[in-house]
Chains A and B, each alone.
Chain A
Amino acid sequence: MPPGKRQLVMGNMACMRGAIYAGMRFYAGYPITPSTEIAEGCARELPKLGGRFIQMEDEIASISAVIGAAVAGSKAMTATSGPGYSLMQENIGYAYMIEAPCVVVNVQRGGPSTGLPTKVSQSDTMQVRWGTHGDYTAIAVAPSTVEDTFTETIRAFNLAERFRTPVTILLDEVIGHMQEMVSFPEPGECEVVDRTRPTCVPSAYMAYGPTKNCVNPMPVYGQGYRWYATGLTHDGYGFPTDKPDEVVGKLDKLRNKIEHYESEICKVRAEYMDDAEIVLVSYGSVSRTALQVAKLARGAGVKVGFIQLQTVWPFPLKQLRELLGNAKHVIVAELNMGQIVGEVERIVQSGTRVHSLLRYDGDIFTPMQFLAKIEEVRK
């Protein structure tokens, strides 16, 4: 599939293409519906580029291999769905702790457990934020179209490299399996970010030493720089510590390297917001229909606005506080039993009422469901 040519592409394939564009050359995974096409695409394409595809024995091994590859200097990715994502949680926490840049794709299907393998859901939204134990700050992006999936996958890699952290791409069965006509950008058209490398002499290298922006340069293994990677809370060299100031320093760093750069990470699309009284907040495949509904409502003279969370985590606090300042009603639409709605409730002012539009039967919202909800709220 050459760049520039208009072609029919599946969301999962756009994710694989975006990853390769961003420089991903290592993929380890275990197939699971509805994510399997990502693995299939990587198995086919990576060897041609001198990259590596490994089908592992399970998802625990998959994320382990990805972290190993990341530490060895590669841009690495794995893709899965709910059950596999649950299995990966312990090692995703390890990646947060050792600050290994990597990308994990979760093509969501209905849960809990094996749930609905072939049906759409957004019920892992909170698991992405709180899935592994301990205190940490997560980054997750949520594309809504096939084209978006390509560019947001590049962005996910850029964020992972920039902030040395795992980044989750939240897809869902509809986007993953949907095919649209798209043309991909030429090499060089989209920005690609690489992790910084140490420039000091190897003997002076501190893996987690003091930094200006909380992100340390990361050497390629085997080039003489020594560091110790452990899941235990560690000091500037990576060695285990329980000294209170070092413990607090490490945890603050994990938080601050993301929270202090919220404006760089958080991406929100806002349409029809100028005088909006009722605002639809959504993310992922739901946003397409939400945008159409806002347009239809405007056509009927009803002041409906549209907000799409392109970054779901960290939750775009500042942007949403500002955008929702004058809203009378906010309708948060999700394919789950109500997850991101809690984040919206935490930030709105007392004059704004927050409502949930929920669906969890394995299908997406129709425009009529949105219109009916807006009518209900207007009464």
Chain B
Amino acid sequence: MSSTSLLEVQIPEDRFEIRLSGSGGQGLVLAAMLLAEAIGADPTKSVIQTKSYGPEARGGASKSDVVVSTGEIYYQKALKLDLLLAMTQESLNKYYPDLKQGGTLVIDDTLVSKVPTEDYYGLSFTRIAKDELKNVMVANVISLGAIAAITDVVPLDALLTAVLARAPRGTEEVNRIAVETGYQEGLALKQKKGQPATV
């Protein structure tokens, strides 16, 4: 038999791995589903969404992984994250070690205060949802809009279509505004980050 050690075999990184994490009740599993649906609308993309949560109805750690590939997806969950959204301090602490070097970190700075890196995108999803949109429940959708702006994993129009297709009747408008607000905030932050530091 060959002497190659299988421990040195590289797991192909022909996939983009996303984890949306936070606390039960923040709507992260739903957000991951909307994101998967928006990404999967592109017929060249395979996508799998899985979830992990506790037995509690609210509270407790909650996460949902979305794996995207142009080929077949075997292992169903994320291994090394290309993108981590952390909506609570606890989830950031727990999943930051899974973020790939050079991976994108997005946090809700309403609820996260200690970030172990300088290289991250901090937006106040929960505060914007509560104060500006008067609906704390759309913080998850705002974060999706920001993700569409910060990364190129999902086009804005596909995201809007997916969100509006699932929005309960009467909430279409607030959801549309949530996506667009998140997108604008994300875009502004990206541009700011992209500028060289002034002396």
Contacts and interface: CB of A to CB of B under 8 A. Distances in A.
A271 B55 CA distance: 38
A375 B7 contact: yes
Interface in B35-61: 36-37, 40, 43, 45-55
B4 interface: yes
A118 B40 CA distance: 25
A300 B6 contact: yes
Interface stretch (B70-78, B99-107, B137-145, B151-159): B70-78
Interface of B: 1-2, 4-7, 9, 11-12, 33, 36-37, 40, 43, 45-55, 73-77, 79
Nearest to B5: A375
Q: Which 4 A-B pairs have the closest CB atoms?
A: A292-B74, A301-B2, A181-B40, A371-B6
B74 A291 contact: yes
A302 B74 CA distance: 19
B11 to A, nearest CB: 5
A292 B2 contact: no
A326 interface: no
Given A179-B36, A181-B40, A371-B7, A302 B46 contact: no
Chain B CB count within 10 A is highest, among A179, A299, A374, for A179
Given A177-B50, A364-B76, A296 B7 contact: no
A285 B76 contact: yes
A179 B49 contact: yes
Contact of B1 (A119, A177, A285, A378): A378
Contact of A33 (B2, B37, B55, B74): B55
20 contacts: A8-B33, A8-B47, A174-B76, A177-B51, A178-B76, A180-B48, A181-B47, A288-B73, A288-B75, A289-B76, A297-B9, A299-B9, A300-B6, A301-B2, A302-B1, A366-B75, A367-B74, A371-B6, A374-B6, A375-B7
Interface of A: 6, 8, 33, 117-119, 174, 177-181, 277, 285, 288-289, 291-292, 296-297, 299-303, 364, 366-368, 371-372, 374-375, 378
A149 to B, nearest CB: 13
A300 B76 contact: no
Nearest to B72: A292
Nearest to B77: A364
Contacts of B11: 296, 367-368
Given A289-B74, A368-B11, A378-B6, 18 more contacts: A118-B52, A118-B53, A119-B52, A174-B76, A179-B33, A179-B50, A180-B46, A288-B73, A288-B76, A289-B75, A296-B9, A296-B11, A302-B6, A303-B1, A364-B75, A366-B75, A367-B74, A372-B7
